[in-house]
Amino acid sequence: MDSPIVMFWWRGLSTVAVLNIVLWCLCVRAYLREKESLSPQARDFRFKQLILCAGFVFGCASRSFVPRADVQRIVLLDSWLSSVAIGRSVATVAELCFMAQAALLLRDAAGSAGLAVSVLISRLVVPFIAVAEVCSWYATLTTNYIGNACEESIWVLCGALLFIGALPLWRRSGARLKKFLAVPFVFAPCYLAFMCLVDVPMYVTRWRADLAQGRVYFTLADGVHDVMHRWVVTRSLEDWRTEFPWMTLYFSVAVWVSLAMTRAPREES
């Protein structure tokens, strides 16, 4: 039975996804308008940010239009587009794009300020997220939530590292960059708190529940076949309620952060 709450949530996600695509187009328009006035370095920086942002914006949009929960194999639409294999592949590319954006921004700003430790952090976070994606694929293929718990823990680590790497920039930045950094400095602790208190514990709780029930997990080979051919269509509130918080924040706030990074002020060294 279709839950009105689930359907309202889905329409809300889809509406925000359309808005985010429009905002990305406006960012491209702004770049084209300002392009000739930018230095070659600034032009290259903004172009890379826009390309990486596109990967995240459109990846999140596709996941908003066709929501799915990978390990549970639940989807809202009975379509080949709901294939877990497709959804996880899109998510992998999108998440690597997002972290590459953050790394590019930190490396550019820290390099101009001569902050070697921050530059090192900017070089570490993308490989870390690549490992997180492997953990996510392990969870998706085997249906073992411990993979998700490890994945999200790595995201917490990277979030903390980026926050640490950005802190020294405050003292060495000009007024425009300080104004830009004020927002992530406020929201980063909120993100870390949400991940530590809500997201990671959710997956650990699911894993423990499976252990208590003696659940048998897929092998990797069986999991590959399963993600390509099986999905369960449901619009029940009971099935989707635990996905509401992270999906809603992910496909809205995280995308706005990605869009904001395309407009980050850049200080020439």
> Is 216 within the bounds of a domain?
yes
The predicted structure's pLDDT at residue 267:
66
CATH number of the CATH domain containing 171: 1.20.1070
The predicted structure's pLDDT at residue 147:
97
Interior CA angle at 142 toward 206 and 68, to 5°? 70
Number of domains the chain is built from: 1
Average pLDDT rounded to a whole number, residues 179-184: 79
Instruction: Mean pLDDT check: name the lowest of 82-96, 169-183, 191-205.
Output: 169-183
Using 50, 70 and 90 to split pLDDT, how confident is the model at 183? confident
Average pLDDT rounded to a whole number, residues 88-109: 96
Inform me whether the pLDDT recorded for 268 exceeds 70.
no
Q: Are 104 and 266 in contact (CB under 8 A)?
A: no
pTM exceeds 0.75: yes
Using 50, 70 and 90 to split pLDDT, how confident is the model at 126? very high
> Is 268 within the bounds of a domain?
no
The predicted structure's pLDDT at residue 174:
74
The predicted structure's pLDDT at residue 2:
84
Average pLDDT rounded to a whole number, residues 80-95: 94
Give per-residue pLDDT as tens, 46-72.
999 999 999 999 999 999 999 999 999
> Is 152 within the bounds of a domain?
yes
The predicted structure's pLDDT at residue 256:
95
The predicted structure's pLDDT at residue 101:
97
The predicted structure's pLDDT at residue 169:
85
> Is 143 within the bounds of a domain?
yes
The predicted structure's pLDDT at residue 113:
80
158: its two tokens: 């990277």
Average pLDDT rounded to a whole number, residues 215-221: 94
Residue predicted with more confidence, 180 or 238: 238
Instruction: Mean pLDDT check: name the lowest of 75-79, 96-100, 184-188, 264-268.
Output: 264-268
Residue 112, burial from CB neighbour count under 10 angstroms (0-12, 13-18, 19+): middle
> Is 266 within the bounds of a domain?
no
169: its two tokens: 């920039």
The predicted structure's pLDDT at residue 172:
77
Inform me whether the pLDDT recorded for 269 exceeds 80.
no
Backbone angles phi, psi at 65, to 5 degrees: -70, -35
- Domain range for residue 24? 4-261
Backbone angles phi, psi at 232, to 5 degrees: -110, 115
> Is 20 within the bounds of a domain?
yes
d(CA 153, CA 177): 29
The predicted structure's pLDDT at residue 25:
98
% of the chain residues with pLDDT over 70 = 99
Give per-residue pLDDT as tens, 18-32.
999 999 999 999 999
> Is 249 within the bounds of a domain?
yes
Average pLDDT rounded to a whole number, residues 153-170: 93
